[in-house]
Amino acid sequence: MGLLSQLKQKYKTLSIVGMAKNAGKTTALNYLIEEAMDDGVVLGITSTGRDGESCDLVTGTDKPRVFLDTGTIVSVPVKLYDMAEAGLEILCMTNYSTALGQIMLCRVAESGYVQIAGPVNTKDHKKMCGEMLAYGAEIILIDGAVDRKSIAAPDTSDAIILSTGAVLSRSMKKVVEETVHIVGLYQLPELEKGNVRELILAGQKRERIMLIKGERVELLDLKTGLSAGKFLDEAIDEDTEYIYIPGALTSSVISDIHPTKLKQVQFILKDPTKIFIDAMHWQQLRKKGFTAKVLENITVAALTVNPHAPAGYSFEHEALLKAMRSVIDGIPVIDVKLGGGVQ
């Protein structure tokens, strides 16, 4: 059984997220599309930006194009409709707009290459995915063509496929470490149901840092942890048990908090995409007693590896695959250039 057939049994929507540009995200998308064609799975294809063009509009480098089979449901803005080499049957004109015009939902009547785009707004994306399912899509693949952090957020889809590779570093060891770090962050434990969670959810709309002290909530006049470390250190007293940060969590925030206080409190984030701390600093913080949970974590359904980098260097396929599989538990790890090989 192929990767897509396995995932289809668990999920209705999957975001494909690249850890960096040229990590192999579009190659992974095309691999899953080919699997769908072989297995007769009706796909829904959309994007959080624009994808399918032959040249990256930012870097100017060549990109893999997106080939869609007949029956596929796809979102296409008006301005990209005539650029499609595939034959497209317009199913409906949606209420969602982009810089490339209003989005149409189309069914591929004649297979071929298509440039795809969809709403950036998460709420609109979820609505549109529901419409695509109603038109017969069995599973929807969302190409994360904008910022990887926001696209990975749990509000976007049921789970993600994370694409990583040599583009991250010339050192395979560092590529593996950074990938394991991100997967670990995405799988952070969720805050248990109970009084603390209810207190945070009740005050969440105010978008302020919260200090939970027993049954009492203290709101700081701060939305984010950026430049807030000293204020947090002063605000933490012996009764403080939890700190909820609605915005970004960075190393600089934590570094200003006294180590004794750092061990005393537990940090709560909305989701793992709010954490901007690299693998080395994260491990250093954990050794100091730092702990964190999230209101909602991110399900990583699969991991794809790309041993080639645009800079011209590469790793040996099997070596990267073996190294990644040795440290990633419970998640399929595949090199799509080798034809998958789900484990």
Q: How does pLDDT run across 76-124, given as a tens digit for each residue?
A: 999 999 999 999 999 999 999 888 899 999 999 999 999 998 887 888 8
* Residue 343 placed within a domain: no
Residues 17 and 96 grouped into a single domain: yes
Q: What is the Rg, in whole angstroms, of the alpha carbon atoms belonging to the chain?
A: 22
State how far the Cα of 53 lies from the Cα of 62, in Å rounded to an integer: 9
Residue ending a domain, among 274, 294, 314, is 294
Predicted model pTM: 0.88
Report the pLDDT value the prediction gives residue 93, as an integer from 0 to 100.
95
Do residues 303 and 324 touch, judged by C-beta distance below 8 A? yes
State how far the Cα of 146 lies from the Cα of 50, in Å rounded to an integer: 8
Residues 34 and 121 grouped into a single domain: yes
* Residue 273 placed within a domain: yes
At residue 14, what is the residue type? L
Residues 13 and 159 grouped into a single domain: yes
**CATH number of the domain enclosing 83:** 3.40.50
- The SS3 of residue 200 is helix
* Residue 216 placed within a domain: yes
* Residue 250 placed within a domain: yes
Residues 93 and 155 grouped into a single domain: yes
Report the pLDDT value the prediction gives residue 58, as an integer from 0 to 100.
45
> Please, what's the b/e burial string for 192-201 (b: 16 or more CB within 10 A of its CB; e: otherwise)?
eeeebbebbe
Residues 232 and 271 grouped into a single domain: yes
Number of domains in the chain: 2
Residues 86 and 161 grouped into a single domain: yes
* Residue 260 placed within a domain: yes
State how far the Cα of 269 lies from the Cα of 195, in Å rounded to an integer: 16
Residues 57 and 176 grouped into a single domain: yes
* Residue 163 placed within a domain: yes
Residues 131 and 237 grouped into a single domain: no
Report the pLDDT value the prediction gives residue 161, as an integer from 0 to 100.
95
Low-confidence ranges of the chain (pLDDT < 50): 52-62, 343
**CATH number of the domain enclosing 245:** 3.40.140
Residues 206 and 130 grouped into a single domain: no
CA-to-CA dists, residue 51 to 75, 152, 321, angstroms: 11, 17, 27
Closest CA relative to residue 10, chosen from 138, 129, 156, 189: 138
Report the pLDDT value the prediction gives residue 132, as an integer from 0 to 100.
96
Alpha helix ranges (H) inside 23-105: 25-39, 78-81
Residues 166 and 254 grouped into a single domain: no
Q: How many CB atoms are located within 10 Å of the residue 140 CB?
A: 24
Q: How many CA atoms lie within 13 A of 271 on its CB side?
A: 15
Residues 159 and 30 grouped into a single domain: yes
Whole domain around residue 241: which residue ranges? 195-294
DSSP string for residues in 232-262: HHHH--TT--EEEESS-EEHHHHHTS-HHHH
State how far the Cα of 202 lies from the Cα of 200, in Å rounded to an integer: 5
- Which helix H or strand E contains 211, and what residues bound it? strand 210-213
Report the pLDDT value the prediction gives residue 155, as an integer from 0 to 100.
85
Between CA 41 and CA 47, with CA 45 as vertex, the angle to 5 degrees is 155
State how far the Cα of 180 lies from the Cα of 176, in Å rounded to an integer: 6
* Residue 93 placed within a domain: yes
Report the pLDDT value the prediction gives residue 97, as an integer from 0 to 100.
87
Residues 169 and 87 grouped into a single domain: yes
Do residues 51 and 143 touch, judged by C-beta distance below 8 A? yes
